[in-house]
Amino acid sequence: MSLFGRNKKASQPGQVGLSFSEEGLALVWVDPASDRPLKHWEMLIDSPSQLAQRLAERVEALALSGVPCYAVLAPEDYSLQLVEAPDVPASDIASAVKFQIRDSLAMSLADAEVQVFDVPEEAYRQQGRMLYAAATHRARIAEVRDLILNAGLALQTIDIRESVMRDLAGQMTEDSGGLACLDVRGGEARLLLMKAGEIYLSRQLNTEIDQSQMAGEAWASTFQRLLVELQRSFDYFENQMGQGQILRLLLAPVPGITNQLIEQLNINLVAEGSVMDLNVLWNTGSILSARDQYDCLFASGAALAGAAA
């Protein structure tokens, strides 16, 4: 295959979002200038060795060669941890943080790629300035880059899910007050606490949630554990961080459990819960099923970030 660069003339308007996962690769193509911005979405399910060829075939079939592309890593491709900001010049922060977290890396320093983003200063007044550090293997970044470029797309950025979720939430609700985003997939739950478009806290919850859990006899006790974890995080945001109450909760779509889970959360939490509905975002009526939205959530967020770039 030919290797295309960023400057190749795009054959279609808009941009493409790609999201990697254990299941495969989600592809979303949008054109924000159109009356119907969502042009195409699909989930490419294949073995890793066949995924590059599959993506290239879809790019050719959809005439997307040269279209700007914004990619999102799978959660298993990176680690995210909260660290104290080193006292070094801004240009040296990433390398200093990489050395600081060296003992927790699943790779050598030479093989690690580390990017950082700020946490608002008022979040951790007692600890001083804090950062979130995302670490991934350089080889994985190269694999993702080559897969996208070899398919003919014009790669712009490779991001992490937390950043994409933040951008999606900002488009779906007003978040000048405290906002929680809850993403449940693979039996695990990831919680983001935000305010004014900034991530204050990101954490993996210990409670397992899936359709079989919710249908089982132990769901009542499992749900209580979830409530305790959520409320502790909300209390930490309000009291330790001094950011006031969490007033809104956005739940990412989960096939088979979305409606039941959001109903139970609304009964038991002060925060008003609602579902992150991509049909509202893209003005597509009810075209996107819960399964579509679950598969394409992060690819949609990546494409959305590209539209704002």
CATH number at residue 114: 3.30.420.380
E strand segments, the chain: 15-20, 25-30, 38-44, 68-72, 78-84, 112-118, 130-137, 154-159, 178-185, 188-195, 198-205, 246-251, 272-275
Of the pLDDT bands very low, low, confident and very high (cuts 50, 70, 90), residue 261 is very high
Lowest mean pLDDT among 80-84, 98-102, 162-166, 215-219: 215-219
Residue 36, in any domain of the structure: yes
Residue 197, in any domain of the structure: yes
The two tokens of residue 67 are 């279209």
pLDDT at residue 198 above 50? yes
pLDDT for res 128: 83
Residue 309, in any domain of the structure: yes
Is residue 15 domain-shared with residue 108, that is, in the same domain? yes
Residue 140, in any domain of the structure: yes
Q: For the chain, what percent of residues have pLDDT higher than 90?
A: 75
pLDDT for res 214: 79
Q: What is the mean pLDDT of residues 295-307?
A: 90
Query: Which residues on neighbouring strands pair with residue 17, listed in sequence order?
Result: 28, 70
Is residue 78 domain-shared with residue 200, that is, in the same domain? no
pLDDT for res 195: 94
Is residue 234 domain-shared with residue 116, that is, in the same domain? no
Average pLDDT value over all residues in the chain:
91
Q: For the chain, what percent of residues have pLDDT higher than 70?
A: 95
Residue 165, in any domain of the structure: no
Total structural domains in the chain?
A: 2
pLDDT at residue 2 above 70? no
Is residue 50 domain-shared with residue 190, that is, in the same domain? no
Residue 168, in any domain of the structure: no
Of the pLDDT bands very low, low, confident and very high (cuts 50, 70, 90), residue 4 is very low
Lowest mean pLDDT among 160-174, 206-220, 250-264: 206-220
Spell out a b/e string for 181-218, using b for 16 or more CB atoms within 10 Å of the CB, else e. bbbbbeeebbbbbbbeebbbbbeebebebbeebbeeee
pLDDT at residue 3 above 50? no
Q: What is the mean pLDDT of residues 77-81?
A: 96
Q: What is the mean pLDDT of residues 5-11?
A: 58
pLDDT at residue 5 above 50? no
Domain that holds residue 191: 173-276
pLDDT at residue 8 above 80? no
pLDDT for res 309: 62
pLDDT for res 191: 97
Is residue 288 domain-shared with residue 243, that is, in the same domain? no
Is residue 222 domain-shared with residue 302, that is, in the same domain? no
